[in-house]
Chain A
Amino acid sequence: MYEGIVQELIDELGRLPGIGPKSAQRIAFHIVQTQSFDVTRLADILREVRDKVRFCSICGNVSEQETCSICRDPRRSPATICVVEEAKDVVAIERTREFRGLYHVLGGAISPIDGIGPDDLRIRELVQRLADGTVTEVIIATDPNLEGEATATYLTRLLVQPGLRVTRLASGLPVGGDLEYADEVTLGRAFEGRRLVES
């Protein structure tokens, strides 16, 4: 334990996701010791983010306005919606530059053991977005883990309707790995999702 306020800083930092006691200590001492570190700027940005950033009223992505920059962009196709768990997944997919449609952020995955059911996610909002028939494809891009797969199962069953294509991101072998290390589930998925390379 350190004296008073330094320990308070370590405790606060340690409450942040992904920061354990050791990292919290390291960051705290960096702030205390490094003269060039601009504490005011960090404090201002934290306050500003809290004040300005909210969630897009259409897709649930983070935004500084009523709707996010992707939903406002007229060059993006309104016919395709990519469904993700978190706003950080939007960033990950945007980095690929492969996708030119719109997004829908669920706010998590269905996990009954954590008390999270379908009604706790932005699923009703997704269904509403599909009502006018503009959207012709929904790409389900939930995480390739158990909760993400279960959420995809639920959504697929819920969304299937005439005139709407529901697809799921392919999952399979990680690029750069050895086949022999792949587990049964991953390898099984890779077989399911195999594609034609020559015809």
Chain B
Amino acid sequence: MPLYRDEAVVLRTHKLGEADRIVTLLSREHGKIRAVAKGVRRTSSRFGARLEPFMVVDAQFYEGRSLDIVQQAETLGAYGGDIVGDYASYTAANAMVETADRLTDDGNSLQQYLLLVGALRSLARREHPAGLTLDSYLLRSLAIAGWAPSFGDCAVTGAPGPHSAFVVQLGGVVADAVAPPGSPRLDAATLALLGALLSGDWPVAEAADERTRSQATGVIAAYAQFHLERGLRSLEHVERAGGPR
């Protein structure tokens, strides 16, 4: 099948030659796609802004030897424009697409696709604070990838919670009996917030105070960096509420 069509979200782009770009997309059914968009950097390009990061498109591709070629693209969700209007949302979206890029390959990607599109849409609509949307996305995308952290029962023995020792390397909270000495401890409010972010319980998540949110952010960042080899480059640039103006 030299031609195929799919819905996809643009993760990132790289310049190629004079006026082209290599576009990396996460598709609904074809996993991650790397395709050349010809002439896209010319101001007269018929693609316009359709193949910019965070855009969701219905696209037709021509299957090439190493890279595919984007033939047509129609917009399904123009989230990029709204996301760049808010700097915190932009930095959060960067961390999301970088995570999606790292967690997916050519294989089945439907769950990751739906999660990412939902999160970008939520950022564009300013449904929740950008930092919370990102934190929830990170936990849920890692969970889909098979690294669901435990915030209740012990991640090692399964002993019913609550437990307070949190060990990234062991997969979440662990019972005192198996916690290595000096393990960091999390308070009940932080664990409740983490659980809410993982399950998508927004009323609980948004009720958390600043201090609890920043605790949870630190835990999630450590957890994500541990599971994604080489870490996420964009995470250190993410602007958090009350961050540098």
Interface of A toward B, CB cutoff 8 Å: 17-18, 20, 110-117, 144-146, 149-150, 153-154, 157-158, 174, 176-177, 181-186, 188-189
Q: Which chain B residue has the least Cβ–Cβ distance from A185?
A: B49
Q: At the interface, yes or no: B18 with Cβ under 8 Å from chain A?
A: yes
- Whether the Cβ atoms of B50 and A183 lie closer than 8 Å is yes
**How many residues of chain B have a CB within 8 Å of chain A?**
34
Q: Which chain A residue has the least Cβ–Cβ distance from B90?
A: A150
Closest 6 CB pairs of A and B: A183-B48, A112-B234, A185-B49, A112-B237, A112-B94, A117-B237
For residue B149, which residues in chain A have a CB less than 8 angstroms away from its CB? none
Central interface residue in A20, A146, A158, A186, by most chain B CB within 10 Å: A146
For residue A182, which residues in chain B have a CB less than 8 angstroms away from its CB? 48
- Whether the Cβ atoms of A181 and B46 lie closer than 8 Å is yes
Q: At the interface, yes or no: B129 with Cβ under 8 Å from chain A?
A: no
Q: At the interface, yes or no: B91 with Cβ under 8 Å from chain A?
A: yes
Q: A157-B245, A174-B43 are in contact. Are A150 and B236 (CB under 8 A)?
A: no
- Whether the Cβ atoms of A153 and B85 lie closer than 8 Å is yes
Which among B74-82, B184-192, B220-228 touches the partner chain?
B74-82
CB distance from B43 to the nearest CB of A (A): 5
Q: List 7 A-B contacts (CB under 8 A).
A: A110-B90, A115-B233, A150-B90, A153-B87, A158-B245, A185-B49, A189-B81
Instruction: Give a binary string over B13-27; 1 marks a CB under 8 Å from any A CB, 0 the rest.
Output: 001011000000000
For residue A145, which residues in chain B have a CB less than 8 angstroms away from its CB? 49, 52
Within 8 A of A (CB), among B35-93: 43-44, 46-50, 52-54, 75, 78, 80-81, 84-87, 90-91
CB distance from A181 to the nearest CB of B (A): 5
- Whether the Cβ atoms of B49 and A174 lie closer than 8 Å is no
Q: A18-B18, A176-B44, A183-B48 are in contact. Are A113 and B98 (CB under 8 A)?
A: yes
Q: Which chain A residue has the least Cβ–Cβ distance from B54?
A: A146
What separation, in Å, do the CA atoms of A20 and B94 have in the docked complex? 28
What separation, in Å, do the CA atoms of A157 and B53 have in the docked complex? 22
Central interface residue in A112, A145, A177, A188, by most chain B CB within 10 Å: A112
Q: At the interface, yes or no: B95 with Cβ under 8 Å from chain A?
A: yes
CB distance from B123 to the nearest CB of A (A): 13
What separation, in Å, do the CA atoms of A116 and B52 have in the docked complex? 18
Central interface residue in A17, A150, A188, by most chain B CB within 10 Å: A150
What separation, in Å, do the CA atoms of A17 and B245 have in the docked complex? 35
- Whether the Cβ atoms of B97 and A183 lie closer than 8 Å is no
Select one of A17, A144, A146, A183 contacting B53, CB under 8 A. A146
CB distance from B36 to the nearest CB of A (A): 11
CB distance from A121 to the nearest CB of B (A): 12
Q: A112-B234, A113-B98, A117-B237 are in contact. Are A146 and B84 (CB under 8 A)?
A: yes
For residue A174, which residues in chain B have a CB less than 8 angstroms away from its CB? 43-44
What separation, in Å, do the CA atoms of A146 and B10 have in the docked complex? 12
- Whether the Cβ atoms of A188 and B81 lie closer than 8 Å is yes
Instruction: Give a binary string over B145-173; 1 marks a CB under 8 Å from any A CB, 0 the rest.
Output: 00000000000000000000000000000
What separation, in Å, do the CA atoms of A182 and B50 have in the docked complex? 10
Assuming A112-B90, A114-B233, what are 9 further A-B pairs, CB within 8 angstroms? A113-B98, A117-B237, A144-B43, A145-B49, A149-B85, A174-B43, A182-B48, A184-B49, A184-B75
CB distance from B99 to the nearest CB of A (A): 10
Q: A153-B86, A174-B44, A184-B78 are in contact. Are A112 and B50 (CB under 8 A)?
A: no
Select one of B46, B84, B95 contacting A150, CB under 8 A. B84
